[in-house]
Chains A and B, each alone.
Chain A
Amino acid sequence: MTLLKHHDPQTAWAVVQGRSKPDEVVSAMLRVEGLVTLLRHRATQDLQDQIERRCIKAGIKITIFGDENYPRALVADLAPPAVLFYFGDLSALNSRRVGMVGTRSATASGRYLASHIAHDLAINDVCVVSGLARGIDAWAHRGALRALESRAIERGAGRLADRPVGRLAVRAAGRPVGVVASGLDVVYPRENAQLWQDIARHGALVSESAPGSPPDAFRFPLRNRILAALSEVLVVVESRDTGGSMITVDEAQKRDVTVLAVPGSPRNIASNGTNQLIQQGCLPIIGAQDVLVALGLDNRRAQENIYDPRVRLSTSDQNLVSMMIGSPFTLDDFVIRSCLATIDAAVSLGRLEALGWVVENSGWWEVIEVRQPLH
């Protein structure tokens, strides 16, 4: 614990292993035997007490490297965390694991895809690991939770929210795991508070930082390394060319974790990073099925079970929709690309919106992408 206070977790780990030397303050303390014992005792005791009090108060559990329930995926890692704080049940990690990352400012279709891919993975008993940030992360978790819910409803167990903390869904579907940067009692971003609770209840919420740690900028890259280490396959849904998701991709590549990317329109800034990844040779995916194949869970021949409640479109409407798929567009774009008069374009757009094929967002329109091919 003292070590953690003076070093970042990686160095702390090195010191424990004897591979690295403690810094001057700590080594000076180590030299004076009596003092060291006393200080060490008191310092560790104080800090330990403090952390323990916080953990007990918040119901946070602790696992240390070497413990029985310490995630096995991390044992052989390049930079395993010395200690992990967690909510929920770490056995969620015992199934197949897919990491999902992406930009915080996602487009509507990015959010839609993230939640759908996560949902389909969870239905196939895959554990979705993500960072619980805004945007793609949060929507991936929402998708995974929805899968748990729909499975539970199939079994007559009711909605998640109505159920007490329980294990009704244990074998029903893959449970979501959130890896966060701040202490587990510091919810960040605040808007995800409910999601935070749901994941802690029905999956596991993991952090390397001690309770009370604020969401400092340096913690996020460290968090990304754990996320990459926990994933067997990493899916990037939407990412710009720089940012947290690309750091996670780097970490995954260091660990030989397969990286898959969802392609986007080259006109869509939010897909710049993923498109670059694909350019560099990363496998493009268009749905959860491709991820399952990458995991070796090939059930392409199994019966597909997709339900799209929307009314099938007329041929001309289908043409309009396929013309606008890709990036958000304005009414201007629509008029120009469809070569319709403004008034006719307005009527078409109004009809498509009423049918649920496009959605408006402060003057920007997006096609809600279909889960089946258009033809």
Chain B
Amino acid sequence: MFASVRSATLLGVRGSRVDVEVHAGIGLPGFTVVGQPDEVCRESRDRVRAALLSSELPWPTRRITVNLAPSGDRKSGACLDLAIAVGLLAAQGLLPVEILSQYAFIAELGLDGSLRPVRGATPLVLATIDRQTIVALENLAEANAATVTQVFSAKTLLEVVECLSGRTEWRKEILQKTLIKKSKFVPDLADVQGQPVARQALEISAAGSHHLLLVGPPGAGKTMLAERLVGLLPSLDDNQAISATMIHSSVQTEFRNSGLIRDAPYRAPHHSSSMVAMVGGGTALMRPGEISLASHGVLFLDELGEFAPSVLDALRQPLEQRVVHLARARTSVVMPAEFLLVAATNPCPCGEGTPGACTCDDAARARYLRRFSGPLLDRFDLRVAVSRPNTTDLISPIAGESTSVVAARVAKARSLAFSRFGGTNSALTRQQLDSAAPLTKKAEQLLRKELEAGHLTGRGYHRVRRVARTIADLTGAPQMIDETHLHLALLLRVDLASGLRRREMSF
């Protein structure tokens, strides 16, 4: 007897279709799973057997072969359990084989016959988009939000069998698509007192998606600022939301806020993170790394200098290409990595940085700065010095604007940028820059002077122009870029090593 049941497994952030073929034939009673299952997958035999027996369904006393087609690809995870169980029942003639072609099954089985949620429900359901899919109750919300096809859920294996054989109806609440979305708590920008420049830098960074480096002594509020950047970003559009949900779904079994991710994600990995944790890979599943999890949101690296140099340099390629391409001997996957990089670092080993207060000698400072490779530092469009706010700043007359006020300006500037070339200002190519960011005569002179003085590199020249474009958009000057915009753009590019070079004094 033979049955074929549709299911899916996870690779990277995508699901791939798997047909579970079950053959129950004459021979010594036994159970083999073929088609490159991994350890968890192979263990499904014991789970399925216990689930069947607990549900008082028969376990066949025949020679059973389960093939996971296509047999060339490696399968992993427990998401095939339900499909194997259904296949076994169909192969024994307990379920009508012909109706199985309308369904796909994605769930893990508990020993008591219950359906358990799996990681990656969103990408898995998207892989079986041509059929009605059955998932565990806990996965229903996220599976339902991502796809247009019907998704059913059940609590137990017995319930699935009853529904498939037409004795009962699928649960009613499944059709209900409206979901209460609990918005995450996002800290407000109004909490930041003083620090007008850092606030402005956050605004520019959010408006133009410019990578931001905060340089300052401990206690200056670098982390506090970075956490507030995510609130300034607009909520994700449909494509971004599905992409973000797919990525996050593939690392966790259940969503707290259920449904699609609409808020820009915020990830702040510790500086001891390994290369694999950062870019992805690791197991046969190819787990997405922090850069993918931060896609369409903010990746915050605190204490940038403490990260392993290899980890930091691994960020360079995804920063340019906006995807990460991981190749292994058996598989290769492409995962999105469209993140806004925000990093914080101390200005020198002692952390003070203020000339006169710093106790580091030049050699120690040079050694410290060597930890950040030049190419990486160059990719930060905005490099801002942050100082500790003192009492006078805390009671300064400049009151802090709240996140909602700034976010409105950011949204306006972003829509201006999108109306030009359909992307953020940081994504403007050199050719696009000339038409999108024309310079006034004075601005051109200023840039020429900076280039001649050696304060700007060729790459820096274009980056400054992109930042100036964003500043102009924010200040309501959508056409020409004049020298005021450029002055600010130049000041927000602190050169960490300038203190080491400019030691000569003018007489």
Contacts and interface: CB of A to CB of B under 8 A. Distances in A.
Contacts of B355: 105-108, 270, 328, 361, 364, 366
Interface stretch (A6-14, A151-159, A218-226, A336-344): A336-344
A105 to B, nearest CB: 6
Contact of A343 (B358, B393, B485): B485
Contacts of A344: 484
B354 A331 contact: no
Interface string B335-349: 000000000000100
A134 interface: yes
B385 A331 contact: yes
Contacts of B10: none
B396 A336 contact: yes
A332 B195 contact: yes
Contacts of A146: 507
A347 interface: yes
A360 B498 contact: yes
A118 B496 CA distance: 31
Contacts of A354: 449
B499 interface: yes
Contact of B494 (A115, A342, A362): A362
A333 B488 CA distance: 15
Interface residues of B, number: 51
A119 B507 CA distance: 10
Nearest to B198: A332
A356 interface: yes
A304 to B, nearest CB: 17
Given A330-B387, A342-B197, A343-B471, A362 B356 contact: no
A273 to B, nearest CB: 12
B386 interface: yes
B356 A269 contact: yes
A336 B356 contact: no
A173 to B, nearest CB: 15
A96 interface: no
Contacts of A34: none
Contacts of B500: 362
A350 B386 contact: no
A346 interface: yes
A248 interface: no
A214 B42 CA distance: 70
A191 interface: yes
A359 interface: yes
Contact of B498 (A112, A115, A362): A362
Given A134-B361, A336-B398, A364 B475 contact: no
Nearest to B200: A342
B487 to A, nearest CB: 4
A111 interface: yes
Would you list the 5 A-B pairs with minimal beta carbon distance, nearest first? A363-B385, A270-B356, A362-B499, A363-B494, A346-B488
13 contacts: A105-B356, A105-B357, A106-B355, A110-B356, A115-B505, A331-B197, A344-B484, A347-B487, A347-B488, A349-B491, A359-B502, A361-B498, A363-B383
Interface of A: 103-108, 110-112, 115, 119, 134, 139, 146, 191, 238, 268-271, 327-328, 330-333, 335-336, 339, 342-344, 346-347, 349-350, 354, 356, 359-364, 366, 368
Given A327-B354, A332-B197, A339-B398, 11 more contacts: A103-B356, A105-B355, A107-B355, A108-B355, A108-B505, A270-B357, A328-B355, A330-B387, A331-B384, A350-B491, A362-B347
